[in-house]
Amino acid sequence: MHLADARSLPDLQSPMPEFKDRRVTVMGLGRFGGGVGAVRFLVAQGAHVTVTDMFPAEELLESLGQIAGLPLKLRLGEHRVEDFREADMVVVSPAIPADNRFVQAARDAGVPVTSEMNLFWERNRGQVAAVTGSNGKSTTTALLHAILSGGCEAQNRRSWLGGNIGRSLLPVVGEIEPRDWVVLELSSFQLEALVPLKPRVQLGLVTNFTPNHLDRHGTVQAYRAAKQVLLAGQLQTDLAVLNQDDPDVSQWETAARKLFFGTRDLGAEGLFVDPTLPRRTALWRYDGQETLLPVPAWLRLPGPHNLQNVLAAACAALALQTTPPVIQQQMETFVALPHRLECVAETAGRKFFNDSKSTTPEAAILALKSFEDPVVLLVGGYDKEIDLSRLASEIARRVAVGKIRAVAFLGQTGGALERQIKQLLPAAAVSEFATLEAPDFPSAFAWSATSSRNGDIILLSPGCASYDWFKNYEERGCQFAAMARTWQPN
């Protein structure tokens, strides 16, 4: 597979005259790499950059450290309309809605508005393997990148990792060759912003789909439409890797050749585990050939959801002609990403798992299903206006059978989630159900650890975003990990 128009792009190793001496406002420095990447790229191109962010400097120290010493103007703790109206271009963080009044002021003044990912997309010469979905996309993206990196070494090509996973490739876009693979995690926000470019991906992978970010998208239909941008621009020569077990995703339309992954073999092309197959094997079906591979045996990550992630990444890698020995080597050495069901401490017979990246109810449910030992759960957070009833039902079911010993409820959704769960429990179970509607995170952790027993799992899997108590899910996870590593029973 080759990117059809890659060689028509200019040589990107030298500065681009289109940015020299242009006034560019970067809105949202952020903490996930996109803002920093855009700033570094634009300054290197000779642009006059203004960085504006509503957060004050003390809340952006890590990002500010990455642009320290660069010739630019900082506007922190506020936005000013003149920075938008008087610019030649505005680069907006994907977290900022399109109807933001400052963004609208730029548009009203005729100023082009773009994003870090859009700037990268317009200049990227590599072939794109992009991953989206409601859950599991970061692990799947990182695993696919690791596998392709192992296979590329012998082919004089490289695999580059970027996007929503927290790494901007914009500053190094000039180093990416047409033969390289660019593995991107793309959020619904990034995909929505890419629509004007009619993006094409050579391989598009969708992990799953459940309602999320309705506070931003408004409806499930709008959220789905944003995700489907990943497949909309594909050609017949491209590949789409879809979750066969997801009744929504499995029906998504694309012009590309469809491959599926899942837990039943229904006869399609792709990679499947099935009860009829030998234990810990998967069937790979492609181009009329069938091969049994011990893919589940290569899995080193806990939980059934990670089997889905492994099947997805391996299916994509096999379709890109990566050999099974390379896939095996990379899978067996792959470790859980930070904040994704990460075991951060083991003390006094307790194991502490940081799953702070669990920002959807479905992710929290999957985390709970990963453990047979009793769990003390920390759950709840920022209200994204999504339905928490399935999460409440799963917690109630596990409480009733003794799989969850106690629950600390966090943030804006904590109280409502607690009430939903108690309504689902018999009266006798409610009186024995140990709960805390926590006033703050340290109190939640201390109570959870004290409520645990030898052999228990203390699990932070909020099922909600973090913005009510924290800057982001990373800060939430880091605080949990730090407390877990120093905790000792009385």
Q: Could you read off the pLDDT of 373-393 as tens digits, one per residue?
A: 999 999 999 998 889 999 999
Tell me the pLDDT of the chain averaged across its residues: 92
Q: Where are the domains of the chain?
A: 21-114, 118-333, 342-486
Determine which of 76-80, 198-202, 247-251, 337-341 has the lowest per-residue pLDDT on average: 337-341
What is residue 155's predicted lDDT score, i.e. its pLDDT? 74
Identify the CATH number of the domain defined by range 118-333: 3.40.1190.10
Please name the CATH architecture into which domain 342-486 falls: Alpha-Beta Complex (3.90)
User: What's the burial of 480, exposed, middle or buried (CB within 10 Å: 0-12/13-18/19+)?
Assistant: buried
Q: Is the pLDDT assigned to residue 13 strictly greater than 90?
A: no
Contact, 134 vs 207, CB < 8 A? yes
Q: Is the pLDDT of residue 6 over 80?
A: no
CA 195 – CA 359 distance, rounded (Å) = 25
- Please write the tens of the pLDDT for every residue from 176-199: 999 999 999 999 999 999 999 999
Please return the burial class of 388, using the count of CB atoms within 10 Å of its CB with bins 0-12, 13-18 and 19+.
buried
Tokens 């998967």 found at = 282
- Of residues 342 and 442, the one with the higher pLDDT is 442
Residue 216: CB atoms within 10 Å: 19
94-140 residue pLDDT tens: 889 888 999 999 999 999 999 999 999 999 999 999 999 998 899 99
Would you place residue 152 in the very low, low, confident or very high pLDDT band (cuts 50, 70, 90)?
Answer: confident
Give domain 21-114's CATH number out of 3.90.1150.10, 2.40.50.140, 3.40.50.720, 3.30.499.10.
3.40.50.720
DSSP string, 286-335: ETTEEEEE-GGGG--S-SHHHHHHHHHHHHHHHHTT--HHHHHHHHHH--
pTM of this prediction? 0.79
pLDDT band at 307 (very low <50, low <70, confident <90, very high): very high
Decide if pLDDT at 442 tops 60: yes
